[in-house]
């Protein structure tokens, strides 16, 4: 096509191999071709992104830029520091663009952003080309083939996907790239709105990444952590297409591992190396193509002489779960990431519920502290100071490394929600959003709903014991000793329940089991923050009641607050005290309404949760011996600021 001048807009596809959108762009045979990334203030300020994920992203960008330059010495990744909604209309004019090409993104914010950019392109006479490539099947088509409904089970994906067609084979990376045209930026930069800054507490200094549109040297360089005001990253896991493909090659080289992989049989206590692939961050940023992953694995499974594993537990099964969550989000939009106004999320009267703007029907990013006790539990959970070594080791690993094993994620999520603290899954999802390298908006929200039994999964009576469960994988406690070094010399017998260790054993190990973890004292590890057996019973009672009531996030009683009248003293959390029968009548709630119920007992990647109902109850201290949290007094500060200052592990 003569005289085509193309911007290729990189987003979550930071690679050259198997990119349908990039192939479409190059198929235009442009006379000028600009690979572009826009430094979107939404993600810098309004998305929770920890330092380790920033490092992984910039790794991917730098690696991609080098790969582009290898194909064309005149080219690179042209990173510009402005919101795409305001930048592109100016670029279209300045660079005389004829086409804008990008990979489809069905995240709720991305849909709004892209709609604005497409509108601006149409007004400028620029043709827009969009191709799907982030998932195995186009998420919107998956919903369409699922009778227009969100995909809420693996079988729905397995039924709907083939109706779209076979998963396409990956396409090779280009061998050359056209020259870019002039990169003049003779227009005024639109400065971003920096408030609210959800990442402000993590910055050591002010964010300077927007001081110049093309970077400090005007060379379109990738921002540094220092520019963003962040400290150095702590994770050893690095990003980039080069690394992602190398990891995949190493996995594929072991055909038996690849063909017989069963995720529930991999150890959550394994480290150096971990028991799973650790390719999920590469799938998120697109430094590895999902189709490349799928077909490299599937080809080995097809020719494997032995008995190969099958979905949902196999490697390809993990990709189906990812498509399932993407399909659910594609249909439900913003509401998928919250309880309120979510038609497929059960309403549970969790502690620390989100604040909601009822005009926009969206959560505000803040939450109500209805219980000071629950707030303390949440902060101790977040910073790895619960007094339960298994939980604390996992949360410290998450913070330091940006990753934890899937069964570890299950354990900490169950503990925070239905298996201990009875705190809203949205609080946990926010922590994962900040600290996970592989955070996907769809998968994160979906997994938390699954593990809290508010959607996808309903067997709430199956819980993970923070003592019995890890003993099945790591009796000696090597994982705990690594991430909770206070306990590194404790006898194996006490490693998962150190509060039972006699004082003589504590002294021998150089540790004191005392306090609540609010002070960072060397050689001290806190007592458990509650009696797990007692809390598990309280949570189960609350879940039973919530399931009996049968409300969902979009029900009128949830929205207007009258849900309180439906919960008696069997429900955890504050209520108005009116019994369910008095409010609804004796026959109400006799049949639980399940709008899109789970059809099997598998969790999010095929593992069967352990029923720990017979586990030994463990001792702890609750404030005043109360089972239920009390309401927060006006003006009372939370422990967040204090715990944030503590250095763990």
Per-residue confidence band for 519, with pLDDT thresholds at 50, 70 and 90: confident
In angstroms, the CA 177 to CA 269 distance is 45
Give a yes or no: residue 139 inside a domain.
no
The predicted pLDDT at position 177 comes to 99
**Lookup result for tokens 């309403």:** 347
- Greatest Cα-to-Cα distance within the chain, rounded to the nearest angstrom: 83
- Name the DSSP letter for residue 366: E
Q: How far is CA 150 from CA 135, 153, 347, in A?
A: 15, 9, 18
User: Residue 4 burial by CB count (10 A; 0-12/13-18/19+): exposed, middle or buried?
Assistant: middle
| Residue that terminates a domain, selected from 97, 132, 167 | 132
**Is 610 in contact with 461 (CB distance < 8 Å)?**
no
- At 1 the pLDDT is 60
Where is pLDDT greater, at 517 or 598? 517
Burial classification of residue 382, based on how many CB atoms lie within 10 Å of its CB (0-12 exposed, 13-18 middle, 19 or more buried)? buried
Is 90 exceeded by the pLDDT of residue 362? yes
Look at residue 4 in the predicted model and tell me its pLDDT. 98
Residues 186-215, mean pLDDT to the nearest whole number:
95
Query: Total structural domains in the chain?
Result: 2
Contact call for residues 298 and 316 (beta carbons, < 8 A)? yes
Kindly report, residue by residue over 568-589, the tens digit of the pLDDT. 755 675 555 554 445 444 434 4
Contact (Cβ atoms closer than 8 angstroms) between residue 388 and residue 466 = yes
Mean pLDDT (whole number) for 426-434: 99
Q: Taking each helix axis from N to C terminus, what angle separates 241-252 and 290-303, rounded to the nearest 10 degrees?
A: 10
Question: 595 pLDDT band (50/70/90 cuts)?
Answer: low
Calculate mean pLDDT across residues 627-643: 33
- Please give the angle made by the CA atoms of 185, 186 and 187, to the nearest 5 degrees: 95
Q: Which of 213-217, 373-377, 464-468, 567-571 is predicted with the least confidence, judged by mean pLDDT?
A: 567-571
Query: Is residue 271 in a domain?
Result: no
Give me the domain span that covers residue 87: 1-132
Q: Which two tokens stand for residue 540?
A: 């189960």
CB neighbours of 127 closer than 8 A, spacing ≥ 6? 98, 99, 100, 121
Q: Please state, in angstroms and rounded to a whole number, the distance separating the CA atoms of residues 539 and 533.
A: 10
Known binding residues for FAD are 276-280
- Residue 101 CA to residue 5 CA, distance in Å, equals 11
| Cβ-count burial 288-318 (b if 16+ within 10 Å, e if not) | bbbbbbbbbbbebbeeeeeebbebbbbbbbb
pLDDT for 246: 99
Sequence ranges of the binding site: 276-280
- Quick one: how many helices (H) and strands (E) in the chain? 25, 9
Cβ contacts of 466 within 8 Å, gap of 6 or more: 388, 389, 390, 391, 411, 415, 420, 496, 532, 618
Residue 281 included in any domain:
no
Residue 131 backbone phi and psi in degrees, to 5: -130, 145
pLDDT of residue 604: 41
CB 166 within 8 A of CB 137: no
Say if CB 462 and CB 390 are below 8 A apart: no
Please answer whether residues 104 and 132 qualify as being in contact, where contact means their C-beta atoms are separated by less than 8 angstroms: yes
Higher-confidence position of 623 and 471: 471
- How many other CB atoms are there within 10 angstroms of residue 196's CB atom? 12
78 closest CA partner among 99, 97, 94, 61: 61
Q: Which range among 108-122, 204-218, 585-599 shows the weakest confidence by mean pLDDT?
A: 585-599
Cβ contacts of 475-478, under 8 Å, gap ≥ 24: 477/389, 478/269
Residue scoring higher pLDDT (429 or 593)? 429
Q: Is residue 241 part of a domain?
A: no
Looking at the domain assignment, is residue 193 inside a domain? no
pLDDT value for 520 = 84
**CATH number of the domain bearing residue 57:** 3.40.50.620
Specify if 347 maps to a domain.
Answer: yes
Nearest Cα to Cα of residue 642 among 385, 403, 394, 424: 385
pLDDT at 128: 99
C-alpha Rg value of the chain to the nearest Å = 25
The angle formed by the CA atoms of residues 394, 398 and 399, to the nearest 5 degrees, is 120
Distance, in Å, from the CA atom of 474 to the CA atom of 392, rounded to the nearest integer, reads: 15
Question: What is the pLDDT confidence band of residue 304, given thresholds at 50, 70 and 90?
Answer: very high
**Spatial separation of the C-alpha atoms in residues 360 and 340, rounded to whole Å:** 11
Nearest to 498 by CA among 396, 333, 620: 620
Question: What average pLDDT does the chain have?
Answer: 90
Task: Confirm if 59 and 136 have CB atoms less than 8 A apart.
Answer: no
Which of 83, 108, 132 delimits the end of a domain? 132
Q: Is the pLDDT of residue 330 over 80?
A: yes
Helix (H) or strand (E) run with residue 99 in it: strand 99-103
d(CA 604, CA 102): 30
CATH code assigned at 357: 1.10.579.10
Token pair belonging to 8: 């290729």
Cα–Cα distance for residue pair 274/286, rounded to 1 Å: 22
pLDDT at position 646: 39
**CA–CA separation, 152 and 103 (whole Å):** 24
Residues 452, 457, 458, 459: what is their CA dihedral angle, to the nearest 10 degrees? Answer: -90
**Structure tokens belonging to residue 146:** 């699922």
Alpha carbon distance 49, 43 (integer Å): 8
pLDDT confidence of 506, banded at 50, 70, 90?
A: very high
Q: DSSP 3-state assignment of 130?
A: strand
Instruction: Indicate the SS3 state at residue 369.
Output: coil
- DSSP E strands in 287-409: the ranges are 354-357, 362-367
ω into 433 cis (within 30 of 0): no
In 3D, which of 257, 285, 260 has the Cα closest to residue 273?
257
Q: Tell me, yes or no, whether 435 lies in a domain.
A: yes
574: in domain: yes
State both tokens at 244. 């992602």
The residue ranges of DSSP E strands in 448-604, in sequence order, are: 512-513, 524-525
Are 259 and 306 in contact, with CB atoms under 8 Å apart?
yes
Asked if pLDDT for residue 328 goes beyond 70, the answer is: yes
Q: Contact 101/287 with Cβ under 8 angstroms?
A: no
The model carries a pTM of 0.90
Condensed to tens digits (0 to 9), the pLDDT of residues 112-161 reads 999 999 999 999 999 999 999 999 999 999 999 999 999 999 999 999 99
Question: 300-309, 578-587, 605-614: which range is least confident on average?
Answer: 605-614
Which of 90, 114, 132 finishes a domain?
A: 132
Residue 420 reports pLDDT greater than 80 = yes
> Does the pLDDT of residue 315 top 50, yes or no?
yes
């Amino acid at each position: 096509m003569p005289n085509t001048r193309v911007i290729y807009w990189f987003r979550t596809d930071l690679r050259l191999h198997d990119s349908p959108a990039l192939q479409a762009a190059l198929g235009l045979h442009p006379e000028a071709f600009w690979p572009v990334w826009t430094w979107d203030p939404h993600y810098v300020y309004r998305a929770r992104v920890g330092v380790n994920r920033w490092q992984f992203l910039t790794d991917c960008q730098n690696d991609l830029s080098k790969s582009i330059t290898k194909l064309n010495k005149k080219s690179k990744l042209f990173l510009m520091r402005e919101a795409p909604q305001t930048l592109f209309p100016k670029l279209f004019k300045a660079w005389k663009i004829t086409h804008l090409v990008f990979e489809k993104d069905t995240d709720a914010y991305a849909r709004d952003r892209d709609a604005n950019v497409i509108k601006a392109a149409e007004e400028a006479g620029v043709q827009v080309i969009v191709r799907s490539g982030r998932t195995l099947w186009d998420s919107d088509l998956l919903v369409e083939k699922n009778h227009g409904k969100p995909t809420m089970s693996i079988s729905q994906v397995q039924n709907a996907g083939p109706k779209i067609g076979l998963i396409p084979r990956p396409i090779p990376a280009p061998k050359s790239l056209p020259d870019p045209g002039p990169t003049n930026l003779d227009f005024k930069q639109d400065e971003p709105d920096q408030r609210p800054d959800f990442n402000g507490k993590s910055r050591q200094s002010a964010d300077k990444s927007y001081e110049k549109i093309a970077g400090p040297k005007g060379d379109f360089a990738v921002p540094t952590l220092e520019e963003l005001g962040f400290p150095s990253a702590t994770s050893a896991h690095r990003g980039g297409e080069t690394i992602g493909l190398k990891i995949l090659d190493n996995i594929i080289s072991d055909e038996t591992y690849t063909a017989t992989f069963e995720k529930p049989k991999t150890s959550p206590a394994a480290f150096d190396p971990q028991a799973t692939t650790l390719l999920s961050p590469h799938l998120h940023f697109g430094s590895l193509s999902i189709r490349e992953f799928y077909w490299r694995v599937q080809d080995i499974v097809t020719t494997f002489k032995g008995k190969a594993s099958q979905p949902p537990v196999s490697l390809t099964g993990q990709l189906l779960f990812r498509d399932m969550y993407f399909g659910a989000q594609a249909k439900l939009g913003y509401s998928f990431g919250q309880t309120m106004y979510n038609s497929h999320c059960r309403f549970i009267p969790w502690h620390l519920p989100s604040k909601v703007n009822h005009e926009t029907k969206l959560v505000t990013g803040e939450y109500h502290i209805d219980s000071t006790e629950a707030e303390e539990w949440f902060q101790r959970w977040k910073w790895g100071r619960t007094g339960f070594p298994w939980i604390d080791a996992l949360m410290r690993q998450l913070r330091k490394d940006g990753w934890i094993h899937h069964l570890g994620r299950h354990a900490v999520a169950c503990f925070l929600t239905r298996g201990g603290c009875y705190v809203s899954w949205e609080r946990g999802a926010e922590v994962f959003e900040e600290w996970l390298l592989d955070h996907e908006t769809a998968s994160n929200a979906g997994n938390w709903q699954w593990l809290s039994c508010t959607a996808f999964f309903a067997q709430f009576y199956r819980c993970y014991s923070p003592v019995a469960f890890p003993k099945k994988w790591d009796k000696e406690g090597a994982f705990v000793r690594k991430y909770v070094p206070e306990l590194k010399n404790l006898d194996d017998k006490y490693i998962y329940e150190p509060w039972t260790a006699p004082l003589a054993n504590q002294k021998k190990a150089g540790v004191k089991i005392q306090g609540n973890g609010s002070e960072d004292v060397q050689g001290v590890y806190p007592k458990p923050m509650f009696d797990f057996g007692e809390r598990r019973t309280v949570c189960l009672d609350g879940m039973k009641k919530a399931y009996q009531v049968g409300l969902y996030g979009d029900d009128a009683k949830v929205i207007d607050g009258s849900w309180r009248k439906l919960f008696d003293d069997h429900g955890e959390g504050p209520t108005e005290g009116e019994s369910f029968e008095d409010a609804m009548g004796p026959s109400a709630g006799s049949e639980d309404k399940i709008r899109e119920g789970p059809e099997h007992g598998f969790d999010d990647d095929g593992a069967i949760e352990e029923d720990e109902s017979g586990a030994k109850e463990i001792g702890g201290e609750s404030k005043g011996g109360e089972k239920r949290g009390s309401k927060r007094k006006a003006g009372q500060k939370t422990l967040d600021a204090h715990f944030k200052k503590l250095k763990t592990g």
